Amino acid sequence: MAGVKVQVAPRIYVPVRIKFAVALVVAVGWTVFSVWMAQQWMSDLTGRVGVVAAALLVGGIAIVPGFMNAFLIASLAMDRRPPRRPLDDYPPLTILIAAYNEEASILDTLASIERQNYPAPLQVIVINDGSRDATASLVRGAEVKYPWLRLLDMPGNGGKAKALNAGLKLALNELLVTVDADSYLQKLALVSIVERYRQDPPNTRAVAGKILVRNSRQNWLTQCQEWDYFQGIAAIKRMQSLYQGTLVAQGAFSIYDRQALLEVGGWDDCVGEDIVLTWALLKAGYRVGHCEDACIFTNVPDNVRQFVRQRQRWARGMMEAFRQHPGILLVPRMSTFFVYWNLLYPWLDLAFTLGFVPGIVLALFGYYWIAGPMTLALLPLAVLMSVLMFTIERRMFDRLGLKVRRNRVGLCIYVIFYSLLLQPASVLGYIDELFKTRKTWGTK
């Protein structure tokens, strides 16, 4: 009928704490079911390795991962974050780029900043951390082209944390962005992350951007990492942000409040400088968010050795964060739940590496003591999480005018074999931190 207005029902707002409680109930329910299902498996394994070893293996391989996956799926299904809105005015930004031997990519990174057409003044500082290639000379040449660019040439290779802290001292603006020197900002990435930062709760002091793989077509390893960044890492960050505490504002692309950085002392000189900084902000009572549609494309390791070194660093960085900020475990907030969650990762990675991997070998010979029918119970959850996250991410890609690449080979490797490389690499990182081996920052 002409003149009749259609009333649109308002979206029902569900408080975040209610969502947390619902996700927890779902996860506990799945865990109870898993424990019931695993009784025969547990009994058989106890007869061979003893009750303690059996409990550690069954819990680390199936029960606890099942709890985590169920909580993650329930949380993502309820995630309805408010859309970003344009700002009346955009603040000036300082962008810090720590560079070590980045002659192959640094000019592309600077070009991607220029193409942002950010509607406010920029100050971009490239900190050349003792590069032995042409990085410094290329940036000097680019200074003529980009008036907002400045090169800070360090006297030697002192590490990423020292480089960023040196740049922080020269920062002129109250909002500061870090960008990796081999990364490429997607269109409007700066606008998007600034809008999310300004429209997040007022105690927000950092927001992590979205990292995607730039060199995904290079080989099988980069192909499967494309899915890890697109689904796995993205899912964790979305969930943590929903509950008001992203645990890693990664150095590859994040925005920070300059005064908050100074308050917590900037970046610590350690392997996991970004996670240690993030936990310092959380410990100080601040919120760290995530902007799922502020995208940057980065080069990931293209050989097994580099990949293992990277994941060693990430695992070691988590251990450093616990060592330097143990008090974060006592902060009464929802995000502390995920800090405790991280405490379980060394157990899970060890159980997988020392139990499940040998269990697969035994299963090939017909001995289903460790890897058997019960472990198949994790597959429905893994598939459901993949489908849910793929749907969420594809919608985001559609809004940005991006297309999800058909990468079936990478997906198969990611689903079936990726953990066989990832979790043993994490175990090596825990060992590195335990024995205090030499620290380097050659890999992100």
Stretch 64-78: mean pLDDT, rounded? 91
Range scoring the smallest mean pLDDT among 3-12, 31-40, 154-163, 367-376: 3-12
pLDDT of residue 84: 86
At 207-252, the pLDDT tens digits run 999 999 999 888 999 999 998 998 888 889 989 998 888 999 999 9
DSSP annotation of 319: H
Predicted TM-score (pTM) of this structure: 0.90
* For residue 267, pLDDT beyond 70: yes
340: amino acid identity, one letter: Y
Range scoring the smallest mean pLDDT among 161-165, 277-281, 409-413: 409-413
CB contact at 8 A, 57 and 370 = yes
Beta-carbon contacts of 3 under 8 Å, excluding residues fewer than 6 positions away, are none
Provide the mean pLDDT of the chain. Answer: 88
The total of other beta-carbon atoms located within 10 Å of residue 117's CB is 9
pLDDT of residue 385: 73
Report the C-alpha gap between 242 and 70 in whole angstroms: 16
* For residue 292, pLDDT beyond 50: yes
pLDDT of residue 2: 45
DSSP annotation of 188: T
* For residue 151, pLDDT beyond 70: yes
Range scoring the smallest mean pLDDT among 55-59, 164-168, 258-262: 55-59
At 365-378, the pLDDT tens digits run 777 777 666 566 66
Task: Tell me phi and psi for residue 403, to 5 degrees.
Answer: -120, 140
Report the C-alpha gap between 203 and 292 in whole angstroms: 19
CB contact at 8 A, 282 and 288 = yes
CA 42 to chain CA mean position, Å: 34
pLDDT of residue 4: 45
At 301-339, the pLDDT tens digits run 999 999 999 999 999 999 999 999 999 998 888 889 999
Return the percentage of the chain with pLDDT > 70, whole number.
93
Stretch 122-145: mean pLDDT, rounded? 95
pLDDT of residue 9: 45
Q: List the domains of the chain with CATH numbers.
A: 87-444 (3.90.550.10)
At 241-258, the pLDDT tens digits run 988 889 999 999 999 999
- DSSP assignment of 51-107, as one string? HHHHHHHHIIIIIHHHHHHHHHHHHHHH--PPPP---SS---EEEEEEESS-TTTHH
